[in-house]
A = this chain, B = another copy of it.
Amino acid sequence: MNRIITIGREFGSGGREFGKRLAEHLQIAYYDKEIITEISKKTRLAEEYVQQVVENRPIISFPITIGHSFYSIFNPVLEHSNNVYMEQSNTLVEMAKKSDCVIIGRCADYILQDYNPFKVFVYSEFDFKVKRCIDKAPEGENLSEKELKQRILEVDKNRAKYYQFITGKKWGDRKNYDLCINTSKLSIKDVAKGIAKMFLKS
């Protein structure tokens, strides 16, 4: 079975950089935005739309009862959204089957549980996350510190809700992971080098 390393991460903690460096050290595939591109190709929906769907809690369809009959109403938005979720699972499974890899987010720890992934959660002190977001802000993004703090809280709140919805478990709870690492005290470069060493024979 391939070695699959899944990475859940708090917004601004450097989980993505950590995952990328880890994959480089181990010389294995790295999947992050590639997942969205793949789903977009399969569903023929725009990447922006797919991104927006997988970042929000799925909408659930309840059949409507009239008298004793059930009516399922065709809803194109719901249909699209269901396709996106289905394709997300299919894509993750394909990636896991293909080769050793690092996968960022997407509840991959849960969706790929049959592939016995090594489940990592990356987190940081709040001040560290704020500083990192300021340092790494894309050109043209001019959020005030207050707005930035709100955004960090909001993104993490959504990730927690989404994880809870898909897996029924608490996002970031140590018991759901094999390794939880706080990136506030050591450089992400050193952390990735060390964690890679755990997997490398030499």
CB–CB A118/B185 < 8 A: yes
Q: In whole angstroms, what is the CA distance A172 to B179 when docked?
A: 13
Interchain nearest-CB distance for A125 vs B (Å):
10
Q: Contact partner of A194 among B118, B172, B173, B197, CB < 8 A?
A: B197
Q: Contact partner of A191 among B121, B173, B196, B198, CB < 8 A?
A: B198
Contacts of A182 in B (CB 8 A): 177-179
Q: Which of A171-195 contact B (CB under 8 A)?
A: 172-174, 177-182, 184-186, 190-191, 193-195
Interchain nearest-CB distance for A159 vs B (Å):
15
CB–CB A179/B181 < 8 A: yes
Q: Contact partner of A198 among B174, B194, B199, CB < 8 A?
A: B194
Q: Interface residues of A: mostly helix, strand, loop or mixed?
A: mixed
A163 located at the interface, meaning its Cβ lies under 8 Å from any Cβ of chain B in the complex = no
> How many copies are assembled?
2
The closest CB in chain B to the CB of A178 belongs to: B182
A30 located at the interface, meaning its Cβ lies under 8 Å from any Cβ of chain B in the complex = no
CB–CB B198/A123 < 8 A: no
Contacts of A118 in B (CB 8 A): 185-186
Q: Contact partner of A190 among B174, B180, B190, B198, CB < 8 A?
A: B198
Q: Contact partner of A179 among B173, B180, B190, B199, CB < 8 A?
A: B180
Interchain nearest-CB distance for A171 vs B (Å):
11
Interchain nearest-CB distance for A169 vs B (Å):
13
Contacts of A197 in B (CB 8 A): 190, 193-194, 197
Interchain nearest-CB distance for A44 vs B (Å):
39
Contacts of A123 in B (CB 8 A): 174
Could you write out 17 A-B pairs with CB less than 8 Å apart?
A121-B174, A174-B174, A177-B180, A178-B181, A179-B179, A179-B180, A179-B181, A180-B180, A186-B198, A190-B197, A190-B198, A193-B197, A193-B198, A194-B194, A194-B196, A194-B198, A195-B198
Which residue numbers of A lie inside 8 Å of B, CB to CB?
A: 118, 121, 123, 172-174, 177-182, 184-186, 190-191, 193-199
